[in-house]
Structure 1
Amino acid sequence: MTVEELAGMTLGDALRAQARMRPDAPALWGDARALTWGQLDAEVDQLAGLLTHMGVRKGDAIGFLITKRPEVVTGFLACARLGAIMAPINFKMHPDRLRFQVESANLRTLIIEREFDELLRPMLSWFTDPGRVLYVGDKGKYGDVTYADIVHHQAPPPVDVTLDDPCYYNYTSGTTGNPKGAIATHRNVQQNGLTAFDRPGIDGLGFDASHVFLGMFSVFAHPHELFHRSILCGGAFVIVDTLNPRVIAETIQRFSVSWMMAVPSFYEMLLDHVEEDRFNLSSLRVLESGGAWVSPDTLARLEQKFGAAFMPVWGSTETTGVAVAMRPDRPRRPGSTGKPVAGYDLRVVDGQGRDVAVGDVGEMIIRGPAVVSGYINSADDGEILFHDGWYHTQDLVRFDEDGFIHFVGRRSEMLKIGGIRVYPLEIERVIKEHPEVRDCVVVRAEERIRGEIPRAIIQRAPGSTLDVRRLQRYCRDRLEGYKIPRIVEFWAQIPKLPNGKIDKAAVLAVPANPDRDDR
């Protein structure tokens, strides 16, 4: 059975097909246990039976408040098999936003670990019906049902699930501050997974069943990407709940991980750790990375140290994953993230929706079968971002003459300095090329006379003595004067979101302080 045929099935049916084709082949590897495709399918059936016994029906949204463990995958796929909807909950959110998520998704059932009981206590009053709670691991205070009870259940009666049924609410930040849940269907997830594979006449990303995949995603940031490629080809994937470089290096060595996906800052941490401890990471072949720009120097160091090819990618919640990539076995273009992957149409348009000329900056809009159709209970955002089948990303980009995409910045983050448009991303890229900079972010600040000015927050590399004057002198040789950061702060750590991207809201919440230097 081909990957195209499997991508034309619902997630539950694709899992069943893999279990029949390769029942004894490894599917999931974790710290404490492993599952073959046959065992994974059987466990998903049992969990679906337990959820049905608890009252879950097609169309119900199920909240997931658990750490990254195999039950994230079995739970996701059990929901998919029942026609229910996985709704991962970010336990780091403010209680008001948690409540908005619970109420907007109309959650009635929660899969949870006991360690989150204190967070669960107020949540129960937000449920429209008495909440149904299933504990993973030890039993908690608010229910008697545990995951171990699946041994008493078998597959439920078949449910009529279609490719266009929702399977997943993927929450992202909203323009009003509340999270907005992108409604991902089985088709969206499967079609995004399909883009990874080379097919006759179609270039994918080069993924295939020979790869052991390790995705460094959290439970509440694209958990489907932990497994959705592997389910189409029958390859193995690894689940590990840590960002500790030593543990990740041990995991790569233990399971012979060949394809990894993480944000650049994590690869840099791993790079430093490997230089110290010399793990055997020779199995690595591809380092896929999105969420931030990587300097040519860092890219070269990564490829040299790991002996693996680095692949920049771009994707979003609304595209259900990677939509732009630069394959390492194809010609590269410095400063670019690559080209649209198969299955996505992409345009660069001006404020009136007209295509801009090659080399001109415009907003990137995108469509395809993996692009979601909108958000749950969020009509305003949907009207702003979705028009005539196109998703308006708010990202400012330009196409070059060879079709490579160059990201310029976010529309909302653009600065106007003396009437001139300035994009923070351009400044960040220059600063990140400095050998004494580990990470940085440039945001808008206000000055009484000049108005808007660039403010740079910098995390030094280990052992660095970089100061403001040296940094500004470095920028002066590479940037126009008005783009040089007027405020430079050195922070010990720059806050990050669960997906590894810089938390710009948290950065902006800290008042500018030109004297800050966390040594």
Structure 2
Amino acid sequence: MILTDLPEHNLKRFGEYPFLYFNGQALSNRYLLDTANRMAAGLQAQGVKPGDRVIVCMANSPEVFIAYQAVMRAGAIVLPVMHVLHPKEIRFIASASEACAIITSASVLPNVQQAVEGLAVQPLLLVAGLDAANAGLVSERTMDLQTLVELAPELVQKPDLQPDDTAVILFTSGTTGQPKGVMLTHRNLYSNAAAAAALAEQSGEPAGVTLGVLPLAHIYGFTTANTLFLRGGTIVVLAKFSVPEVCQAIQEHRIRRFSAVPAMIQALMADPATDNYDLSSLEIVGSGSAPMPVALIAAVKQRFGVDVYEGYGLSEAAPTVSAHRTGESLKPGSVGRAFPGVELRIADEVGQPLPVGEIGELLVRGENITPGYYQNEAATRAAIQDGWLHTGDVGRLDEDGYLYIVDRKKDLILRGGFNIYPRDLEELIIAHPSVAEVAVVGVPSERMGEEVIAVVVPVPGAMVTEAELLDYCHEHLAKYKTPCGIIFVEALPRSGVGKILKKSLREQIATMAAEQGLI
């Protein structure tokens, strides 16, 4: 199925109903469809053609869902871009993709204008929320998004889209190098959403109302929209993460499950204000993007009576690879079983399968896997071999088919000839009562090749020392695995979707470790 078929399919199957809530306002599925058609016609009137690239860069809002459908209905390709990126990062994506237009919001417009200044291809800037207060930001290539919709022709010229046409190009975060544009087809995205919808229906899980607090200008936004269309669900969209707003939405809409990242779940656990709300409807929180400490999973269950369903995915897999399933065994520390239609292989260095329980690189195959990277054949050949996507993640499968992610290959620490997986140490250290968050990294060492440093965010008010944590590690770890030092920080650097930026953290910590004489 083509993704632009989903809104009509949704309306025909479920009738008109509130598709989303935003700032107390309900918007129906029919409104979203009609507005997307008018916006698509407006884009075509401005010269957007099939195959053109259009960036969507704005905070969470209904316009994100509408823009995604509008761009595809115009025959163009969507480039979701996080609105919190630096102008230099936005510039790289706009330049590399030769985007013809950027759909954004007034609050983000200054950064976008800075990003595109002097580009060979000057994109049209379509801005939501322009008013008299920011009228000075308007230029020849800047247009109010609402005006585009209101002045659009009545009918959109429907393009002849095929399942294997590119629907989305999602530029990776670039935490391990220059961002690459992951191409995702209609087939990739539809197959993944259909698998999620099928699992939910098989388990008898009602569509209900969910909460949209993760960034919609990311692969999450596409996955959520497609699944909502297929299941007839509703979403409460929050512009940004806020513990009171999340709790208020759960209480008001009787939300029983939603998706988050570990940093958000940690914030909910740490904020005593959650006790002021009725969260009894909540049963499941889905967690992804970064590993969830087993100790935190247990703490969430104890405090809120809520199960945490960890899953695993990546942009190249559109995005879900594995997840825990309702009604099946929940194994803390695991990211569940393979999605329907997705094959998993734990492989050795030459791609051959390893026995159950052994650790190796995770390879993935299925209809959800990207055809490759935009204008980057070398990266495509390196990542996709014999039909298998080499994820770069290290994991193992148990006898029941549950997947355990051990670490990123690039995060593996080689200390004195021994392999050390940072997650093993992180799971131990986070269990200490004075530790709120931890990241373990390897830094260069002339003597050992690499040394192990634990970067710790203490629990507010805790009086924990480096010596105390090192003694704690010595009690539970082999000597070669124990960190050579602990560095305390107020916060860990994170991407817009909550991933700890270990590449930048390693660079910072290497300097600090040298200054403190740890290496």
- Equivalent in the alignment of 1:10: 2
- Equivalent in the alignment of 2:196: 196
- Equivalent in the alignment of 1:134: 126
Answer yes or no: is 1:354 the counterpart of 2:352.
Answer: yes
After superposition, the Cα gap between the structure-2 partners of 1:93 and 1:38, relative to the gap in structure 1 and judged at 3 Å, is closer
**Could you tell me which of 229, 246, 253 is aligned with 1:231?**
229
Shift of 1:189: 1.3
Shift of 1:106: 1.5
Once the two structures are superposed, residues 291-327 of structure 1 have per-residue CA deviations (whole angstroms, 9 ceiling, x without a partner) of 3333343223312433332201110011112211123
**Could you tell me which of 375, 383, 388 is aligned with 2:373?**
375
The 10-residue stretch of structure 1 (154-163 or 140-149) with the greater mean CA deviation from structure 2:
140-149
Using the alignment, how far apart are the partners of 2:269 and 2:155 within structure 1?
45
Using the alignment, how far apart are the partners of 1:195 and 1:215 within structure 2?
22
**Within-5 A mapping of 1:114-263:** 114-125=106-117, 127-138=119-130, 140-142=137-139, 143=141, 145-149=143-147, 150-153=149-152, 154-174=154-174, 177-198=177-198, 208-220=206-218, 222-263=220-261
Shift of 1:208: 4.4
Using the alignment, how far apart are the partners of 2:121 and 2:446 within structure 1?
53
**Could you tell me which of 6, 22, 29 is aligned with 1:30?**
22
Using the alignment, how far apart are the partners of 1:297 and 1:129 within structure 2?
50
Shift of 1:474: 1.4
Using the alignment, how far apart are the partners of 1:355 and 1:184 within structure 2?
27
Using the alignment, how far apart are the partners of 1:278 and 1:94 within structure 2?
37
The 10-residue stretch of structure 1 (498-507 or 119-128) with the greater mean CA deviation from structure 2:
119-128
Determine if contact 1:107/1:128 at 8 Å carries over to the other structure: no
- Equivalent in the alignment of 1:4: none
Secondary structure of the equivalent of 1:209?
Answer: coil
Shift of 1:131: 2.6
Determine if contact 1:108/1:127 at 8 Å carries over to the other structure: no
**Could you tell me which of 334, 337, 340 is aligned with 2:335?**
337
Answer yes or no: is 1:318 the counterpart of 2:316.
Answer: yes
Using the alignment, how far apart are the partners of 1:304 and 1:213 within structure 2?
22
Using the alignment, how far apart are the partners of 2:485 and 2:238 within structure 1?
39
**Within-5 A mapping of 1:455-474:** 455-474=453-472
- Equivalent in the alignment of 1:404: 402
Determine if contact 1:325/1:341 at 8 Å carries over to the other structure: yes
Gaps of 5+ in 2: none
Shift of 1:134: 1.2
Using the alignment, how far apart are the partners of 2:256 and 2:58 within structure 1?
27
**Within-5 A mapping of 1:508-519:** 508-512=506-510, 513=512
The 10-residue stretch of structure 1 (379-388 or 125-134) with the greater mean CA deviation from structure 2:
125-134
The 10-residue stretch of structure 1 (258-267 or 68-77) with the greater mean CA deviation from structure 2:
258-267
Secondary structure of the equivalent of 2:447?
Answer: coil
Using the alignment, how far apart are the partners of 1:205 and 1:372 within structure 2?
28
Determine if contact 1:309/1:328 at 8 Å carries over to the other structure: no
The 10-residue stretch of structure 1 (328-337 or 64-73) with the greater mean CA deviation from structure 2:
328-337
Determine if contact 1:358/1:400 at 8 Å carries over to the other structure: yes
Shift of 1:222: 3.3
**Could you tell me which of 502, 505, 509 is aligned with 1:504?**
502
Shift of 1:207: 5.3
- Equivalent in the alignment of 1:287: 285
Once the two structures are superposed, residues 92-145 of structure 1 have per-residue CA deviations (whole angstroms, 9 ceiling, x without a partner) of 545554333112212111112233333233444555444322111115422453
Determine if contact 2:346/2:362 at 8 Å carries over to the other structure: yes
Once the two structures are superposed, residues 396-424 of structure 1 have per-residue CA deviations (whole angstroms, 9 ceiling, x without a partner) of 11122232222221111212222111111
Counterpart AA for 1:303: K
Determine if contact 1:457/1:489 at 8 Å carries over to the other structure: yes
After superposition, the Cα gap between the structure-2 partners of 1:107 and 1:276, relative to the gap in structure 1 and judged at 3 Å, is closer
Once the two structures are superposed, residues 331-382 of structure 1 have per-residue CA deviations (whole angstroms, 9 ceiling, x without a partner) of 2334322221212101011111111122211111001111111111222211
Q: TM-score, normalised by structure 1?
A: 0.91
After superposition, the Cα gap between the structure-2 partners of 1:55 and 1:470, relative to the gap in structure 1 and judged at 3 Å, is same
Secondary structure of the equivalent of 1:444?
Answer: strand
Answer yes or no: is 1:108 the counterpart of 2:108.
Answer: no
Using the alignment, how far apart are the partners of 2:203 and 2:119 within structure 1?
42
Determine if contact 1:444/1:454 at 8 Å carries over to the other structure: yes
Shift of 1:275: 5.3
Using the alignment, how far apart are the partners of 1:297 and 1:205 within structure 2?
28
Q: TM-score, normalised by structure 2?
A: 0.91
Shift of 1:162: 1.8
Determine if contact 1:97/1:178 at 8 Å carries over to the other structure: no
Using the alignment, how far apart are the partners of 2:294 and 2:91 within structure 1?
43
- Equivalent in the alignment of 2:69: 77
After superposition, the Cα gap between the structure-2 partners of 1:130 and 1:506, relative to the gap in structure 1 and judged at 3 Å, is closer
Secondary structure of the equivalent of 1:179?
Answer: coil
Shift of 1:211: 4.2
- Equivalent in the alignment of 1:6: none
After superposition, the Cα gap between the structure-2 partners of 1:135 and 1:95, relative to the gap in structure 1 and judged at 3 Å, is closer
Counterpart AA for 2:192: N
After superposition, the Cα gap between the structure-2 partners of 1:330 and 1:19, relative to the gap in structure 1 and judged at 3 Å, is same
Answer yes or no: is 1:88 the counterpart of 2:80.
Answer: yes
Counterpart AA for 1:382: T
Counterpart AA for 1:246: P
Secondary structure of the equivalent of 2:196?
Answer: coil
Using the alignment, how far apart are the partners of 2:142 and 2:443 within structure 1?
52
Using the alignment, how far apart are the partners of 1:171 and 1:144 within structure 2?
24
Counterpart AA for 1:106: E
Shift of 1:212: 2.8
Determine if contact 1:203/1:342 at 8 Å carries over to the other structure: no
Determine if contact 2:55/2:99 at 8 Å carries over to the other structure: yes
After superposition, the Cα gap between the structure-2 partners of 1:253 and 1:95, relative to the gap in structure 1 and judged at 3 Å, is same
Using the alignment, how far apart are the partners of 1:295 and 1:511 within structure 2?
22
Determine if contact 1:45/1:155 at 8 Å carries over to the other structure: yes
Using the alignment, how far apart are the partners of 2:204 and 2:53 within structure 1?
34
The 10-residue stretch of structure 1 (484-493 or 440-449) with the greater mean CA deviation from structure 2:
440-449
Counterpart AA for 1:490: F
Using the alignment, how far apart are the partners of 1:37 and 1:274 within structure 2?
37
